[in-house]
Amino acid sequence: MTLRRLLLVLISGLAPVGARAQASGPLAAHQQLARDIYKELVEINTTTDANPGGTTQAAEAMAARLRAAGFAGADVQVLASGPRDGNLVARLRGSGVAGRKPILLLAHLDVVAALREDWSIDPFTFTEKDGYYYGRGTGDDKAMAAIFMANMIRMKREGFVPDRDLILALTADEEGGDHNGVEWLLANKRELVDAAYALNEGGGGFLKNGKPFVQNVQAAEKVYYDFTFEVRNKGGHSSRRSRTTPFIDYRMRWRASRSTTFRYR
């Protein structure tokens, strides 16, 4: 299978799964599998302070599904980078044609903290309502993790052998915390995730009449910055700027703390 065809399979095979629910009609078996995985992931509290829980619980649950689907034990590993910070790394063996390097399917399991009193529903209960799925992580990034998982299981069950290995990495602490899973894997287990290409979150797709219609591709990634704004006088009306009205000097000053300061002059 060519890289282009493989990408089309991964993108379109489970398109109805995501923050928006399928409009009507029964789910196909592979779609039901993805929904079941999706629900299981959303209902595991994978915030950094979850106890018990965390990404280790989610990683172990996904590892159990992969092993039940026929993946060899050596090809499914849960690697802990910190307390409750487990990372799943799994490999679907390819034919190894022409020594082609693997493709890495990358999604994170952790989510931003969610207080029950801030939500109209339980954030860790998978809820389908009015054509949408609700719950912490339904969009970022457990839908993608569920899609990748279901594709890996489906390919294994159907005996599909790609022309290169496919690696799945579901990681910890992308949203925050002390044990960023990707960073930890690269530093300590690079041989398990080394690949020619990585498919990560970003972009997105849409359906039209139940069929894949648009697939957006994110070509670059944002970088985290802190900004500090200093106002040295009382300011003024923005449309009536006077000599004393502050304006922003967009020359950014890099500081040791990795923050960037915009200063009024």
Beta bridge partners of 79: 87
Surface-to-core class of residue 139, CB atoms within 10 Å of its CB (0-12 exposed, 13-18 middle, 19+ buried): middle
Cα gap 183→87, rounded to integer Å: 11
Q: Is the Cβ–Cβ distance between 98 and 3 less than 8 Å?
A: no
Strand, coil or helix: 67:
helix
User: Which two tokens mark 71?
Assistant: 């993946």
Task: Give the distance from CA 174 to its chain's centroid.
Answer: 8
User: Which two tokens mark 237?
Assistant: 């009306």
Catalytic residue among 75, 85, 141, 174: 174
Tell me whether residue 110 is one of the annotated catalytic residues. yes
Q: What are phi and psi of 69, to 5 degrees?
A: -85, -5
Catalytic residue among 110, 141, 165, 173: 110
94 residue type, one letter: G
Task: Give the torsion sign (CA, 151, 19, 8, 192).
Answer: negative
Name which of 172, 170, 169 is nearest 81 in CA terms. Answer: 172
Tell me whether residue 36 is one of the annotated catalytic residues. no
Q: Which residues are catalytic?
A: 110, 174
